[in-house]
Each structure stands twice: as C-alpha cells, then as structure tokens.
C-alpha cells in the first residue's frame, strides 16, 4: 500500500529567480533565501529531485507541496501571489501535487481561489495563520470546491518565544491551535462543511484544549457566540497530520479527530520533521489531494 505525504515544502523556482534579481524585497546570500529578514536554507528546499528521492525512499506515490510559511507574505499583494503560483505550476508533476497560495486578506482572494481551482493543476490551498476575521467569502468558495486546505502556522509575534527555539517548539503549535479556535468559534466547520481543512503538526495544541473550549461554550463565557456544532463534533470535520513525535499524543489525535482523519505528514525537509512516513496514514490522502478541476458558478 502506498500513499501521499501531505506536508512537504519547496521554494518555487520563480521565487528563486526573483530573489536573484533582487525583486519583491528578496535576496540570496551564501546559500540562503532572505525573506523579510528570515533566512531559508536553499539546499533541499530548492531541489525537487531531492523531494522525489524522499518519496521513493518512503515507497510513496508522491508528496503534496506547499511553500514554506515565510513565503505566505499576505501583505505583498496580488503580484506576489501570481509569482508564487506560477512557480508552483512549474513544480507540479504526477508525483508532486501542489497547494496554491492565496492572497488571503485581499478582497480578490475568493475570485483567485475559484480561478486557480478551475485550472486542474492545484490540489487545494495552503493557508497561514493570520486573523481569519471576515473571510466568509473565501470559505464560501472553498466550501463549494470541497477543497483540501492545509493550515500551516506562521511566525508568532510573541517576543517571549525568542529564546530556546520556542518560536518553533511552542509558537508553531500555539499558532495552529489559534487558527483552529478561530474556525471553531466562528462556526466555520458547521457553516462550510465541504472544506477539508488539515491542521499541520497534529493540530498543534488543539486536541489538548478542546475540552476547555467546550467548557467555555457551556458556561456562556464572554464573547462566545452560539455555534451549530459541539467542539468535539466540529473537530471531527478537520484532518490533521501525524507530525507530533509522541505516540501518546498520536493516540489523542485519533480519539479527538478520528483515526481516518490523521494523515501522514513529514514537514520535509525541515529538521523538526519526521524521518519516516506511516504507510497506513499516507493512503487516505490520495483521494483528498487529487488536483481540483471544478468551476464555482458565482465566479
């Protein structure tokens, strides 16, 4: 039995070319892509052949590719989105399925999503973790598409995380949990059940605090509006990857989200990723991540 790794990263070649030209505020310095002060090591991130080697070594059918979160850059405009997506088109092969980038906070985002879906190239979308307020028009399109939608944490602004690599070790799980909470308390899983959200890193802190979220609803805590689904049921509408590095947490994920909702995700090629992919958990992603080829009537 073979399958797909739903959580891998590559830098699109168009982004690399723009960096070498000094465009979009990018640069290349001593083997690193410099993006808004962050340094991404090129090496395997810029080498699709290395990812294909990983796919072969894990006996997989293929990998689902999204850009590293430093490239989300939601304030960079539509031209940035077009540059990234053109590079993702160039990466797409039968063994590499690609998740489109959206200008998530731009009013054009719903139309962009609909247009990209109609191409038959992209297998869904990868989103960061900015504020999700006011995104119902985007959710409406993704719902109509039944789109696989990977939620990957962006950088936390909490300066207390600057020590001990906590920006990744703690900040990433927190950011994913915050995104999940924003969706649950806005009743997005209940109102837009067609979206196939997949939370990276096992959903971060989500499973650990799900009971606390329900207690807040039950006690009518300030700021909480009525939702159509209990928290436990809402979370059963999410997928998560299995990248938690802890068998006890993996067991919690299967209880919280359902065993069929836990997918194989390696975070290749980053050092906090996994060294091997579960064959059993990689199989379900084959159908979920087939390229979209659907028109949305209103667009």
- Give the model confidence (pLDDT) of 194-239 as tens digits: 999 999 999 999 999 999 999 999 999 999 999 999 999 999 999 9
| pLDDT for 133 beyond 90 | yes
Residue 277 confidence class, pLDDT cut points 50, 70, 90: very high
Please say if the pLDDT value at position 297 is more than 90.
no
Q: How far apart are CA 183 and CA 178, in angstroms?
A: 9
Contact 200, 151 (CB under 8 A): yes
Provide the pLDDT confidence category of residue 37 given band limits of 50, 70 and 90. Answer: confident
Q: Which pLDDT score is estimated for 171?
A: 95
Please state, for a pLDDT cut of 90, what percent of the chain lies above it.
94
Return the axis-axis angle of helices 13-20 and 78-91, rounded to nearest 10°: 120
pLDDT band at 294 (very low <50, low <70, confident <90, very high): confident
Give the 3-state DSSP-derived string for the chain, with helices as H, strands as E and coil as C: CCCEEEEEECCCHHHHHHHHCCCCCEEEECCEEEECCEEEECHHHHCHHHHHHHHHHCCCCEEEEECCHHHCCCCCCHHHHHHHHHHHHHHCECCEEEEEECCCCCCCHHHHHHHHHCCCCEEEEEECCCCCCCCHHHHHHHHHHCCEEEECCCCCCCHHHHCCCHHHHCHHHHHHHHHHHHHHHCCHHHHCCCCEEEECHHHCCHHHHHHHHHHHHHCCCCCCCCCCCCHHHHHCCCEEECCCCCHHHHHHHHHHHCHHHEECCCCECCCCCCCCCCHHHHCCHHHHCCCCCCCCCCC
Summarize the confidence of residues 40-50 as an average pLDDT. Answer: 96
Confidence of residue 295 (pLDDT cuts 50, 70, 90): confident
Over residues 183-195, the mean pLDDT reads 98
> What is the Cα–Cα distance from 43 to 32, expressed in whole angstroms?
8
pLDDT value of residue 15: 97
Provide the mean pLDDT of the chain.
Answer: 96
Is the model's pLDDT at 59 over the cut of 70? yes
Token representation of residue 100: 């489109």
Contact 9, 267 (CB under 8 A): yes
Pair of tokens at residue 233: 């049921």
Helix axes 171-185, 206-218, angle to 10 degrees: 40
* Cα of 57 vs its chain's centroid, Å: 24
Half-sphere exposure in the Cβ direction for 243 (13 Å, CA): 28
How are strands ordered across the β-sheet holding 122-127? 4-9, 62-66, 96-101, 122-127, 148-151, 196-199, 239-241, 262-263
Is the pLDDT assigned to residue 79 strictly greater than 60?
yes
- Please state, in angstroms and rounded to a whole number, the distance separating the CA atoms of residues 299 and 284: 30
Residue 254: pLDDT above 80? yes
Please report the pLDDT score of residue 293 as a whole number: 82
Question: What's the pLDDT band for 172 if we cut at 50, 70, 90?
Answer: very high
pTM of the shown model: 0.96
pLDDT reading at 299 higher than 70: no
* Residue 84 confidence class, pLDDT cut points 50, 70, 90: very high
- List, edge to edge, every strand of the sheet that includes 38-41: 26-29, 32-35, 38-41
Pick the closest to residue 105 from 143, 144, 77, 86 (CA basis).
77
Radius of gyration in angstroms for the set of CA atoms belonging to the chain, rounded to a whole number: 18
Dihedral sign for Cα atoms in the order 104, 105, 110, 116: negative
**Please, what are the domains in the chain?**
4-289 (3.20.20.140)
Q: Give the pLDDT score at 135.
A: 98
pLDDT for the residue numbered 239: 98
């Amino acid at each position: 039995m073979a399958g797909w790794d739903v959580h891998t990263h590559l830098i699109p070649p168009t982004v690399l070319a723009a960096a070498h030209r000094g465009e979009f505020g990018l640069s290349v310095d001593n083997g690193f892509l410099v993006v808004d002060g962050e340094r991404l090591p090129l090496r395997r991130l810029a080498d699709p052949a290395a990812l294909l080697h990983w796919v072969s070594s894990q006996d997989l059918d293929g990998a689902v590719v999204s850009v590293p979160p430093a490239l989300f850059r939601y304030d960079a405009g539509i031209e940035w989105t077009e540059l990234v997506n053109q590079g993702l088109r160039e990466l797409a092969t039968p063994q590499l399925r690609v998740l489109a980038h959206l200008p998530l906070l731009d009013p054009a985002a719903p139309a962009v999503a609909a247009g990209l879906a109609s191409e038959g190239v992209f297998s869904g979308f990868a989103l960061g973790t900015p504020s999700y307020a006011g995104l119902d028009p985007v959710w409406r399109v993704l719902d109509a598409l039944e789109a696989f939608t990977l939620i990957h944490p962006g950088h936390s602004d909490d300066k207390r995380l600057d020590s001990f690599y906590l920006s990744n070790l703690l900040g990433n799980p927190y950011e994913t949990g915050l995104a999940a909470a924003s969706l649950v308390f806005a009743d997005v899983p209940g109102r837009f059940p067609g979206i196939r959200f997949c939370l990276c890193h096992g959903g971060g802190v989500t499973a650990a605090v799900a009971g606390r979220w329900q207690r807040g609803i039950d006690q009518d805590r300030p700021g909480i509006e009525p939702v159509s689904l209990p928290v436990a049921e809402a979370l059963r509408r999410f997928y998560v990857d299995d990248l938690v590095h802890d068998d006890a947490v993996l067991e919690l994920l299967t209880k919280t989200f359902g065993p069929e909702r836990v997918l194989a995700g390696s975070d290749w090629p980053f050092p906090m990723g996994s060294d091997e992919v579960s064959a059993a958990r990689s199989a379900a992603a084959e159908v979920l991540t087939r390229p979209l080829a659907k028109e949305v009537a209103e667009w």
